Amino acid sequence: MSKRKFVYFGKYVFLILVAIISIFPMYWMIVSGTNKSVDVIAGKILPGNYLMENLKSLLDTTVLSQAMWNSIRNAVVSMVLNVFVCSLAGYGFEKFHDKYKDKIMSILLLSMMVPTAATVIPLFRMFGKMGLLNTTVGCILPTVSTAFMIFMFRQAAKSFPDEIIEAARIDGVGEWGIYFKMFLPIMKSTYAAAAIVSFMNAWNSYMWPLIVLQNENSKTMPILVSGLTARYTIDYGSMMLAVTISTIPMLIIFFVLQKNFVEGITGSVKS
Amino acid sequence: MKKKILAAILTAAMTIGMVGCGSTSSSDNGNNSASNTEASSNELTVWCWDATFNIPAMEEAEKIYQKDHPDVNVNVVETSWEDIQTKLTTAATSGQTDTLPDIILMNDTALLNNVKNYPDLFADLSDSGIDFSKFASYKTAIGTVDGKNYNVPFDSGVTALYIRTDVIGEAGYSIDDFTDITWSKFIELGEDVLAKTGKPLLSAQAGGPDLLIAMLRSAGDSMFDEDGNPNFAGNDVVAEAVEDYETMVDKGILVEVNDWDQYIGTINNGTVASVINGCWITSTIQAQEDQSGDWGVTTMPRLDNAPNATNYSNNGGAGWMVMNDSPNKDLAIDFLKNTFASSTELYDTILPTTGAVATYLPAAESDAYSQENEFFGGDKIYEKFANYGAEVPAITLGQYWEEAKSALGTALTQIQQGQDIQEALKEADDTVSFAMSE
């Protein structure tokens, strides 16, 4: 009995240690936002009273609120479109039959192997010809459809029972109706998982927004933070505050969808 | 119920998105076409970095130019140097140069590479009427490619030895003991300071050869010879600098840290008693207000044996370039000519607020440069920087600066692991030659 207790105790000590290790950087990031730059450098890990000064210097020298709005807008629009388009595609790939569909799918999957850096210049040229450079549409359009998302929805759609579709068809529901009234609500945990992944990708995306957006006022948060790190004298306090602020929307999205996310990853539909 | 809420949220998100999308893209389009048509050529778009240094300088220049040209505006887009390079490369290789601004700030070390790779991208300023002889000669040399001037030099990266006068005072020295000395003398003093106070003199990023390159430059030597070939193997100046560096590491006078943040830490936390770096490090040192009055500024040490050894060098700095395809090219050139290339008033105004030391020589004669600085014990540090700047030897930076820098860093690490100096330098030569042949 006491041996078992000891193992039990040991397990918890181990887990607590691991938890501290993974939470500490996050904690330090938040705390650093309330400290002076020199204190951050000196390794101060207690909250300070320099938060307002850091915030003021951020607001004075950057377009913080504008960048925040741009990021949120781009990420939300990109997430909604991405999840909608890719789920339609994934659903279609799985539930409708065509002799070329597997070939098309493998071409799509091959496109995942091509690194973004290799496609940037052709894409930039293309958007230049289309007059979409320096526009929000130009920034969002390439993220609307991604091979990974289509693949993810196709895999998820495999667990969606054909019987439901057949039953619905017999009852006279149209194909769009089946998608919106059956597939979408039943697969909502997959949607939640996809939404988180998609939002995160859009929120963190750097390279494409960087080259496609040219105005100070169309800047997104990652680009704003990059500007902060490029100063000759880095203000670590306000930089950490900017990073903390830019983490908040992602946290909100994650916590709102968390329950569904876990289900979506593990698979939840039973036929 | 839940479904309805979800649907409502999604619809709302979509609508907001679409509305936001539509309005912004149209206004963006508006701005875009405005900056790219001849008709409304009163706005100059500038890409540069650092909202506490370059950007206020540019904004001050705008104010000065507006006195005579009230209808001209400057639109500064804060962009880090790496990002400017990415955007330049993308625009140049895809031929979409109309996305570029009118003026960019270019890191000195990257100028040659960019001008050689994209010769048509940048405006030739040779016949613009700008008097380039008024700038520090080493700076003008950087912006001159094949006899043509491509940039208006801006800030100085002139190196200085910043030293904690309180620490060396404890060891019985004054700043004069460290002024105009050689590296061997510096090492001798460093050993004594370390023994008496327990503090090493210098810190550096491990594998980051900034200090080595500054040492080379102080002797008029570069990582490249005049023909642009790598200049490591068989170069006595490089070998001497590496040996001095190694001696300092071995004796504990120089501590190596892993990254830039830690390097700043060694300065602000008082781990080390001195700093050798470009004068842009001043505000980082001043950030630690507790140390006010404890610092002094003097010249960096010189190499003992190198034939052209001086106590002056440079690390960093940038200059303004005009884009050749800009519809506002003439306005942009006129703007730079009347501000950064002739206005001492501009340099006077930005010095106290940004600490940007000019390479425009007439600026150094003004009152702003003779201000005493309390943090540095009442020393006229800016006057010193300006004077040092005039003495920095002009060198060829070389087109493959970054490649050479990383090769030298690798060589340094290998030497520390016991490899023979000449052998490691030969390897560095080969690495750079290989990168150049690609």
* B84-129: pLDDT as tens digits: 999 999 999 988 888 899 999 999 999 999 999 999 999 999 999 9
Residues of B in contact with A135 (CB under 8 A): 24-25, 28-29, 32
Question: How far is residue A58's CA from residue A62's CA, in Å, rounded to a whole number?
Answer: 6
Instruction: Return the closest-CA partner of residue A121 out of B98, B89, B113, B118.
Output: B89
DSSP A172: T
Instruction: Give B217-256 pLDDT, tens digit per residue.
Output: 999 999 998 888 899 988 999 999 999 999 999 999 999 9
**Tokens found for residue A158:** 């495999």
Q: Are B22 and B51 in contact (CB under 8 A)?
A: no
Q: Do both B279 and B428 map to the same domain?
A: yes
Chain position carrying tokens 């950057």:
A62
Within-domain flag for A128: yes
Within-domain flag for B19: no
**Tokens found for residue B66:** 């507006």
Within-domain flag for A3: no
A72: left (phi over 0), alpha (psi -120 to 50) or beta: alpha
B17–A124 CB contact, under 8 Å: no
Q: Do both B70 and B131 map to the same domain?
A: yes
Q: For residue B27, what pLDDT band results from cuts at 50, 70 and 90?
A: very low
pLDDT given at position B11: 54
Using CA coordinates, name the residue in chain B closest to A256: B6
- Residue of A41, A61, A69 to mutate when probing chain B, most B C-beta within 10 A: A41
Least confident of A34-43, B30-39, B354-363: B30-39
Interface predicted TM-score (ipTM):
0.83
Q: How many residues does chain A have?
A: 271
Q: Do both B402 and B280 map to the same domain?
A: yes
Which residue range(s) make up the domain with A149? 63-266
Chain position carrying tokens 């909502």:
A188
Phi/psi of residue A153, each to 5°? Answer: -70, -35
Which 3 state secondary structure label does DSSP give A131?
A: coil
Q: Do both B279 and B180 map to the same domain?
A: yes
Within-domain flag for A68: yes
Within-domain flag for B94: yes
Q: For residue B5, what pLDDT band results from cuts at 50, 70 and 90?
A: low
A226–B83 CB contact, under 8 Å: yes
Strand partners, B77: B47
B21–A226 CB contact, under 8 Å: no
Within-domain flag for A35: no
Q: Do both B218 and B361 map to the same domain?
A: no
pLDDT given at position B36: 42
Within-domain flag for B2: no
Chain B: closest CA distance from residue A198 (Å): 15
Question: How far is residue A58's CA from residue B357's CA, in Å, rounded to a whole number?
Answer: 24
Question: How does DSSP assign B42-80, residue by residue?
Answer: TEEEEEE-IIIIIHHHHHHHHHHHHHH-TT-EEEEEE--
Residues of B in contact with A207 (CB under 8 A): 86
Question: Residue B18: pLDDT above 50?
Answer: no
Q: Do both B272 and B296 map to the same domain?
A: yes
Nearest to B29 among A70, A135, A233 (CB): A135
Question: Residue B35: pLDDT above 50?
Answer: no
Within-domain flag for A218: yes
Residues of A in contact with B78 (CB under 8 A): 62, 216, 219, 227
Question: How far is residue B228's CA from residue A114's CA, in Å, rounded to a whole number?
Answer: 36
Chain A: closest CA distance from residue B32 (Å): 7
Instruction: Return the closest-CA partner of residue B84 out of B121, B126, B59, B119.
Output: B121
pLDDT given at position A4: 84
The alpha carbon dihedral of B202, B207, B211, B212 has a sign of positive
B31 touching A (Cβ < 8 Å) = yes
pLDDT given at position B3: 54
More confident of the two residues A111 and B21: A111
Nearest to B96 among A133, A185, A207 (CB): A133
DSSP alpha helix (H) spans, A2-115: 2-32, 37-41, 51-61, 64-95, 101-111
Q: What angle do CA A49, A53, A59 make, to 5 degrees?
A: 140
B355: left (phi over 0), alpha (psi -120 to 50) or beta: left
Q: Do both B149 and B60 map to the same domain?
A: yes
Nearest to A41 among B81, B99, B268 (CB): B268
pLDDT given at position B30: 36
Q: For residue B32, what pLDDT band results from cuts at 50, 70 and 90?
A: very low
Q: Do both B81 and B117 map to the same domain?
A: yes
Q: Are A143 and A212 in contact (CB under 8 A)?
A: no
Share of chain B above pLDDT 70, in %: 91
Residues of A in contact with B75 (CB under 8 A): 216
Within-domain flag for B18: no
Within-domain flag for A20: no
User: What is the CA B247 to chain-centroid distance, rounded?
Assistant: 27
Question: How far is residue B331's CA from residue A166's CA, in Å, rounded to a whole number?
Answer: 70
CATH of the domain at A222: 1.10.3720.10
B206: left (phi over 0), alpha (psi -120 to 50) or beta: beta
Which 3 state secondary structure label does DSSP give A55?
A: helix
Total domains present in chain B? 2
pLDDT given at position B175: 94
DSSP B201: S
pLDDT given at position B171: 94
pLDDT given at position B207: 84
B96–A223 CB contact, under 8 Å: no
H-run or E-run covering B163: strand B159-164
Within-domain flag for B22: no
Which residue range(s) make up the domain with B302? 159-313+378-437
A226–B80 CB contact, under 8 Å: yes
Phi/psi of residue B178, each to 5°? Answer: -100, 0
Given a cut of 50, the residues of chain A with pLDDT beneath it are 271
pLDDT given at position A43: 87
Residues of B in contact with A229 (CB under 8 A): 80
Taking CB atoms and an 8 Å cut-off, how many pairs form between chains A and B? 142
Chain A: closest CA distance from residue B378 (Å): 22
B202-205 vs B254-257, strand pairing mode: parallel
Which 3 state secondary structure label does DSSP give B164?
A: strand
Residues of B in contact with A216 (CB under 8 A): 75-78
Q: Do both B297 and B390 map to the same domain?
A: yes
pLDDT given at position A269: 52
CATH of the domain at B199: 3.40.190.10
Strand partners, B76: B46
Q: Are B162 and B280 in contact (CB under 8 A)?
A: no
Q: Do both B286 and B187 map to the same domain?
A: yes
Which 3 state secondary structure label does DSSP give A228?
A: helix
pTM summary value? 0.85
Q: Looking at chain B from residue 74 to 113, which residues have their Cβ under 8 Å from any Cβ of chain A?
A: 75-83, 86-87, 90-91, 93-96, 98-99, 101
- CB burial of residue B59 (10 Å; 0-12, 13-18, 19+): middle
Within-domain flag for B308: yes
Question: Residue B177: pLDDT above 90?
Answer: yes
Instruction: Give B376-415 pLDDT, tens digit per residue.
Output: 999 999 999 999 998 999 888 888 999 999 999 999 999 9
pLDDT given at position B8: 53
H-run or E-run covering B30: helix B2-36
Using CA coordinates, name the residue in chain A closest to B279: A232
Reported as half-sphere exposure (CB side, CA atoms, 13 A), residue B262 has a value of 11
Total domains present in chain A? 1
Within-domain flag for A58: no
Q: Do both B207 and B137 map to the same domain?
A: no
Mean confidence (pLDDT) of chain B: 88
Residues of A in contact with B74 (CB under 8 A): none
Task: Please report, for residues A125, A208, B35, B93, B436, the alpha-carbon distance to residue B98 in angstroms, rounded to integers and kept in the order given.
Answer: 12, 17, 9, 13, 30
B49–A234 CB contact, under 8 Å: no
Nearest to B17 among A42, A76, A219 (CB): A76
Using CA coordinates, name the residue in chain B closest to A230: B80
Question: Residue B68: pLDDT above 90?
Answer: yes
Within-domain flag for B121: yes
Within-domain flag for A42: no
- Residue of B27, B50, B58 to mutate when probing chain A, most A C-beta within 10 A: B50
Nearest to B31 among A140, A207, A215 (CB): A215
Mean pLDDT of B421-432: 94
Question: How far is residue B166's CA from residue B295's CA, in Å, rounded to a whole number?
Answer: 8
Q: Are A87 and A191 in contact (CB under 8 A)?
A: yes
Q: Do both B309 and B355 map to the same domain?
A: no
**Tokens found for residue B247:** 């001696």
More confident of the two residues B437 and A243: A243
